[in-house]
Amino acid sequence: MSADMDRPPYLTQRPTLQEMDFNCPVCFEMLIDPTTLNCGHNLCRHCLAQWYLAGQRQSCPVCQQAWVGHPKVNINLRSLLKQFMSEKYTERWNELQKDSNLALAVAEFDRKMTQQQQLSLGTQRVFQHNFQARNLANQLFGGALAGGFCSGLCISLTVAVFAWLTLSWFNGDGSTLLVNKPVQKWSVEEVADWIGEHGEWAKQMYAGKFKEHQIDGHLLSSLQEEDLGLIVGTSIPPVHKRVLLGAIQVAQHLGVKPPKNLWEFKAVYPGKTIFFVYGIRNHPRLMFLYLYWYDYQDSFLPFIHKVAPVANVSDEMLMANRAPPPTLGQWCRFLPQLILCPYWLIAVFTWDWMSVHWWTSNLVLISCISCTVQEALAVKKFWSEPKLSIQFILGQVIGMLVPYFLWPLIPGFIINIWFYMTVYVDPVLTLDLCRQRAMGAQ
């Protein structure tokens, strides 16, 4: 009798490699070109590409953890699958080769990731060169040349903002944007353009099909899941179908196109935008308290779900105002950050929009850093010389609320000038002011 026959059954019955789970968590098929993310999850490369192109989100579809860099194919796992499960792997590979859209999606994904890496590397080099030049200027001219550079940069930005506003004034005030038009009044061309806004994949593959079937706003308002299959075909990838169907349902629920960027939000809610910019810049804690009391569903709830996310809340739920109340864990993460460093929350929220507004998001991040430094210097000064009174607190509250009630009386052109100056010029001025205060403290 052999030694294996003398062993108990639970020691001899070992699981084989074929019994292990090598399925992709997105398509639930065998992993093809498995790509490992920072969180450790493995996905088919074409599934990851479709997920990214569907919403431009650099997060894991399974755990929603953000991933950085350009994810590569896990060659060890791929070799393992080819060696021990070659027949099933080859069969799945040949099946996917029949769909040319998958190869296009992977190529587009790799192209965007490469561009992003090159842009990030170039930005780091520019910042490094500017930092070295700034140090050299301070050493040679005692900071005089550096101050002149900042002044010149502010003047140039001011001139650029005024030129941009003048051009915008003559071209219209944004009233022709699709967000200002009910869905049922959209034309066939507007529906096709709206479909194309969901990504390059939607513009190339589905916008023309909606236009070919003459789908206008009235038909879009009553479109169902079965109708979508008749328009775009039954071979639509599940990720694409989920994104398109979710967007159509949100538009049907709201009756209008929800704003998807800063400019559309400003066109729909001009007063709220000005109030947000002023309040978040000068009184962030009071601002979030006001949002919790008076704008909970539309503003506060989406914000807290973005800065303290949970797995069961999607972007479609936030856009359709169907998000659940924050959990106890979200409050425990949100409140300490709001009290100690509110600009960190704003920076986290801004980072999520980096792919939509790259320059604007970077300037907002700079403003968050400079405002945090200013607040730290103010706390240090208050700690050494306490000067807190009821008049000071009332002044802060009144200073936040007065602009909200006065903005309807101010001409729109003046409001736009103030808005763009605050967003694009003020971060540079604030950063230079922090430098001057830091040098004065030294």
* DSSP characters over 194-249: HHHTT-HHHHHHTHHHHHHTT--HHHHHT--HHHHHHHH-TT--HHHHHHHHHHHH
- Please, which contacts does 372-375 make with residues 24 or more away whose CB atoms are closer than 8 Å? 372/341, 372/343, 372/344, 373/434, 373/438, 374/430, 374/433, 374/434, 374/437, 375/343
Q: Per-residue pLDDT for 335 more than 90? A: yes
Q: Are 256 and 183 in contact (CB under 8 A)?
A: yes
165: which 2 tokens? 């506003």
Burial of 81: CB neighbours in 10 Å, binned 0-12, 13-18, 19+: buried
Share of residues in the chain with pLDDT > 70 (%)? 72
Task: Return residue ranges of the chain for CATH 3.30.40.10.
Answer: 16-102
Please answer whether residues 201 and 108 qualify as being in contact, where contact means their C-beta atoms are separated by less than 8 angstroms. Answer: yes
* DSSP run (H or E) holding 78: helix 75-84
214: β partners: none
pLDDT of residue 355: 74
Residue 251: name the closest of 298, 218, 273, 210 by CA.
218
> pLDDT tier at 336 (50, 70, 90 boundaries)?
very high
H/E segment holding residue 102: helix 100-141
CATH of 182-254, one of 1.10.150.50, 3.40.50.2300, 3.40.720.10, 3.90.1640.10: 1.10.150.50
- The CATH label, of 3.30.930.10, 3.40.50.300, 2.40.50.100, 3.30.40.10, for the domain at 16-102 is 3.30.40.10
Average pLDDT (28-53) is 85
pLDDT tens column, 256-283: 887 777 777 777 777 777 777 777 777 8
Residue 133 has pLDDT above 70, yes or no: no
Per-residue pLDDT tens digits for 286-318: 888 888 888 888 788 888 888 888 887 776 677
Whole-number Å distance between alpha carbons of 54 and 245: 12
Residue 168 has pLDDT above 60, yes or no: no
**pLDDT for position 143:** 42
> Where in the chain do CATH 1.10.150.50 domains reside?
182-254
Return the pLDDT at 121: 60
Query: In the structure, what pLDDT confidence band is assigned to residue 442 with cuts at 50, 70 and 90?
Result: very low
Report the Cα 288 to chain-centroid distance in Å.
20
Mean pLDDT for 164-190 is 68
Residue 332's pLDDT is 93
Model confidence at 215: pLDDT above 70: yes
Mean pLDDT computed over 14-40: 74
Does 75 score more than 60 pLDDT? Answer: yes
pLDDT class for 100, splitting at 50, 70, 90?
confident
The answer on pLDDT for 16 being more than 80 is no
Any idea which of 81-90, 146-155, 258-267, 281-290 has the lowest mean pLDDT? Answer: 146-155
In percent, the amount of the chain with pLDDT more than 90 equals 2
Closest CA to 363 of 425, 288, 287: 425
* Residue 323: DSSP 8-state: P
Global pTM value: 0.51
Query: 116 pLDDT exceeds 60?
Result: yes
Question: For residue 153, what pLDDT is reported?
Answer: 59
What is the pLDDT of the chain when averaged over all its residues?
75
Comparison of pLDDT for 138 and 393, the residue scoring more: 393
Q: What is the mean pLDDT of residues 54-75?
A: 81
Model confidence at 238: pLDDT above 90 = no
For residue 230, is pLDDT > 80? yes
Mean pLDDT of 363-367: 83
